[in-house]
Structures are given as C-alpha cells and as structure tokens.
Amino acid sequence: MHTLVEEHMSQESELVTLDTTNVREMLSGSGYSDRAITYYIDKPNMGYLPDADQVTELTGECGDTMKVYLKLDGDRIKDAKFQVLGCPGAIAAAMAAVDLVKGKTLQESVSVNDRDIFSELQKIPDQKLHCIRLAVKTLQKAIADVRGHKEPDHQRELDH
C-alpha cells in the first residue's frame, strides 16, 4: 500500500514525464534534433566548479548570458561546466561545447568552432545558430583569459 507521500511523488514524476514529452514535442516541432533536445533536457554539463581555475562570463547581443568554469590540469581542460541564462539553443550548445573540449588541451579546444558544435547537436533551427556562436565565443574568451593570466609571468621572464 502506498503512503500519501509516495502517491504524491509518483504523481509528480508523471507530471515531470508529461512535461518532458511536451517540451520534446515543442522543440522537435521547432527544428531541434533529438540529440539537441536531450542536451537541453538532461543538461549534463550545467553548473559550476567550486575549484575552477578560470571563470569567464559573456553576454550575447540577444541578452543571454553564459558563464563557463574551467578546471585545468596543466594545459589540459580536465573539467568544464556552464551556467546559462538563455534559450534552449544556448543551453544545448553550451552542453555540447563541454563534451567537445573535456580532456583536450587549450590549443585543441580553442579551435572548436560553430560547425563542430552544430554537428554534435545535429540540428537546431537556423535562427538559433547565434546561440552556438555565444557558446563558442564564451569558451574562446575563457581560453584567452587563461592565456592572458599566464602571459604576464612569461612577459616578466622575457623582460629580465
């Protein structure tokens, strides 16, 4: 026999399932692939890293904002997370961007471009391509910031 709480919880999970189905249908109707929708719903790389070596934020022309957290192991991106205040396209693009750079060197990661993320997402509506751009720009800015932080030391060495 189910307790009231269990019953309530199972009703809630039914609601969540229903919501997810509705969201999937809506996004699929707008031109998102199943893969992009899964990225948006599951948000596997959403959040922050408390011990991040680099935190970089960027706001796009549309007003949406992304913040990326990078954890480095030498020159390699050991882990990354995004916080996104934005549309499904922005969230899906940011989640895919992390999957594309995790484990790669900064040099390899800086060359991840819009096309790479687009092929990872498979399909998003044309009018959402700028959301991919925002994820790429945020990532590139973070990498430039990391390098910027490192350069003064290098510069100092050169000055001596």
**Interface pattern 89-108 for ligand FES (x via CB under 6 A):** xx------------------
CB of 60 to ligand FES, least distance (A): 5
* 129 near ligand FES, rule: CB under 6 A: no
Place of tokens 């050169």: 158
CB of 93 to ligand FES, least distance (A): 8
Q: Is 131 a catalytic residue?
A: yes
Q: What are phi and psi of 28, to 5 degrees?
A: -65, -40
How far is CA 37 from each of CA 4, 48, 78, rounded to the nearest angstrom?
33, 21, 26
* 62 near ligand FES, rule: CB under 6 A: yes
CB of 106 to ligand FES, least distance (A): 24
Q: Is 69 helix (H, G, I), strand (E, B) or coil?
A: strand
- Determine which one of 37, 91, 98, 131 is catalytic: 131
* 144 near ligand FES, rule: CB under 6 A: no
* 121 near ligand FES, rule: CB under 6 A: no
Q: Is 87 a catalytic residue?
A: no
Q: Going by C-beta distance under 8 Å and a sequence separation of 6 or more, which residues neighbour residue 142? A: 54, 55, 56, 68, 70
- Determine which one of 19, 62, 107, 113 is catalytic: 62
Distance CA 117, CA 140 (A): 13
Contact between residue 61 and residue 78 where contact means Cβ atoms under 8 Å apart? no
Catalytic residues: 62, 131
